[in-house]
Amino acid sequence: QSHYSYKKAAMLCGIGSDNLVAVPCDETGAMIPSELEAAVGEALASGALPFFVGATAGTTVTGAFDPFHEIADVCERHGLYMHVDGAWGAAVLLSGRGDRRALMDGAERADSLTWNAHKLMGMPLQCSAFLTATPGALEACNGTRASYLFQPDKLHAEYDLGDKTIQCGRRADAYKLWMTWKALGDAGFAARVDHCCDLAEHFERRVRGSGGAFVMAKPRTFANVCFWYVPPSLRPWDPAAAGEEARRRMASVAPAIKAKMQRRGLAMIGFQPLDGMPNFFRIVFPSCLNTTKADLDRLLDAIEEIGSNQ
Amino acid sequence: QSHYSYKKAAMLCGIGSDNLVAVPCDETGAMIPSELEAAVGEALASGALPFFVGATAGTTVTGAFDPFHEIADVCERHGLYMHVDGAWGAAVLLSGRGDRRALMDGAERADSLTWNAHKLMGMPLQCSAFLTATPGALEACNGTRASYLFQPDKLHAEYDLGDKTIQCGRRADAYKLWMTWKALGDAGFAARVDHCCDLAEHFERRVRGSGGAFVMAKPRTFANVCFWYVPPSLRPWDPAAAGEEARRRMASVAPAIKAKMQRRGLAMIGFQPLDGMPNFFRIVFPSCLNTTKADLDRLLDAIEEIGSNQ
């Protein structure tokens, strides 16, 4: 359930996507540590050299958090580098609620962590952080010491961070994050995070209390809600029991409703198939500062109105 | 004389910087085609498989343009992919002067071209284009078809370009370029390019007419001027004839002047050593819309004033 950027990175780095091993996940979308242990053992037995484990804090589809302590134990046992992709979910560390912050337990044992402040913190696109536990790693990996850019004998050479990055020329996104943090404070960021999570909780409650018009497609962990709208003719909807024809019909429901909502200018919500289940809606709440629970109620009403008239 | 991004790309892609061959350049900084031919022959003889040639339109330091037709001939002879890094210089294609546009002759034979509109066209940082002559190449190289992002059954799926890129989530920089181009027209962009080149020409004239206070360090091709300020005690300055002590003293001149200009808030001009020559100043003119020739005269006067009082 990791982000496809792991696949892209393997392709780009010359490792090759064939050498990327997908570890099975539980129903929420979180990596199963015993499966990781087994995959490492299998790789070693085949003569391969596993060296990197990519864990995820807030998977893209379901918003699941991997069990970081158990993954770190596996990594320590085998001397593997542990990275946590917290692009979407690491922001829970800023939450005011302990149960939300606890989703990140053990992530502090990782060798590196990514965090996209442009997702849950309301920053502009591309404002992202890569944190490494190894001082000097960025310079060692990326530094090429081009003499025409990074003169060691110039004034304030120590503030020139260009050679520590892949791209060199970049926008000063860190400044925007710093300014916003200064302006809002920890409490302001906590309010943003918790507002988004609260919206997801409210949405889930409405789905579960809909009497079968809406059905959860995946358990909810974070600010993602995966759900079906079930047309009256397909109720009660149980994906495990649904036959081929019902599944085929269900697969077309979300695309049709989305297209109609899009044409009416109402909303754009993603949908997708997963784990053999037909297309379901996936709504996420990133930086939804001005979205209210009443907005979500209206959205569910609109989906139901469009869906029941299909 | 290519940009160090070639080195970074070789490191990042798993090719390894050891497998990147630097081809010798002429005095202006342009690749020597016969040396490229020799390097390809040498690689083949050693059992290596050369497949990519990185040419440059506007080198970083001197602003040199490679002889693209002759390089394309070598590439065709050996079946090599030809890329032109026009990040800095491809904008001359928009110039109103034929002799400037001619610097790009033969670049049209390349398999791909990069162009940074944020350099000479006054666009915001990161507004860059990668043009390929092979339809579908970007999708074939970068596409991973993540089902949760790129649903083929969604409305207007054909407008979703995310899977053709390395990064997916990006700013809409192309829109800014398109808007500016609409607003300024070809003539407006030509005026920007030619203003920058004219400034460089004026600067060179002032250096050459300074009676020895300033000396060109490299021939000028484009909007880059590489020059020394020569303190009275080091005149007449001839780098080929200068002894060790004079070279050592000259190496400290540009850093000292730059630091003083920086502290006074006057200007920030890069300096660097190259090809065994001690530190020289390198001034470039990217998007200098409001810079006038009088500004350059004042800058040269300031350098001379600071330098002669060292």
CATH topology of domain A185-308: Aspartate Aminotransferase, domain 1 (3.90.1150)
- Condensed to tens digits (0 to 9), the pLDDT of residues B104-125 reads 999 999 999 999 999 999 998 8
Tokens of B279: 């530190």
Residues of chain B with C-beta less than 8 angstroms from the C-beta of A271: 151, 154
pLDDT at res. B147: 66
Mean pLDDT, each 10-residue run in order, chain A (310 residues)? 91 92 96 98 97 97 97 98 98 97 98 95 91 92 74 72 78 92 96 97 98 97 97 95 95 95 92 91 93 97 91
B274 and A155 within 8 Å at the Cβ level: the answer is: no
What is the DSSP code (8-state) at residue B22?
P
User: Chain A: which residues have CB within 8 Å of chain B?
Assistant: 4-5, 7-8, 11-15, 60-61, 118, 124-126, 142, 144, 146-149, 151, 153-156, 166, 168-171, 255, 258-259, 262-263, 270-274, 279, 282
The mean-pLDDT minimum among A34-38, A120-124, B216-220, B221-225 falls in: A120-124
In chain B, where the domains are located:
5-180, 185-308
State the best of B153, B226, B261, B277 to mutate against chain A, taking most chain A CBs within 10 Å.
B153
Length of chain A: 310
For position A149, what pLDDT does the model report? Answer: 65
Q: How many CB atoms lie within 10 A of CB B203?
A: 23
Return the CATH number of A5-180, one of 3.40.640.10, 3.40.50.970, 3.40.50.150, 3.40.1010.10: 3.40.640.10
* Chain B, nearest residue to A128 by Cα: B169
Residue of chain A minimizing CA distance to B59: A148
Q: What ipTM does the predicted assembly reach?
A: 0.82
For A153, list phi and psi in degrees, rounded to 5: -95, 15
User: Nearest CA to CA, how far is A151 from chain B (Å)?
Assistant: 7
pLDDT recorded at residue B123? 92
Instruction: Report chain B residues whose CB lies below 8 A from the CB of A156.
Output: 262
**CA distance linking residue B157 with residue A258, whole number of Å:** 12
Mutate: best of B2, B88, B155, partner A, most A CBs <10 A:
B155
Question: For residue B125, which residues of chain A lie inside 8 Å, CB to CB?
Answer: 169-171
Q: Is A199 exposed, middle or buried, given 0-12, 13-18 or 19+ CB atoms closer than 10 A?
A: buried
* pLDDT value for A218: 95
- Predicted confidence at residue B284, as pLDDT, reads 96
| pLDDT for res A169 | 77
Q: What is the pLDDT of residue B186?
A: 96
Beta-bridge mates of residue B82: B53
* Number of residues that this document lists for chain B: 310
Segment B158-213, tens digit of pLDDT: 777 777 888 877 788 899 999 999 999 999 999 999 999 999 999 999 999 999 99
Give tens-digit pLDDT for B232-280.
Answer: 999 999 999 999 999 999 999 999 999 999 999 999 899 999 888 999 9
Residue A27 structure tokens: 């129903």
Give the Å distances, CA to CA, from B155 to A303, A306, B20. Answer: 17, 16, 44
A42 three-class SS: helix
Inter-chain touch A170–B125, beta carbons under 8 Å: yes
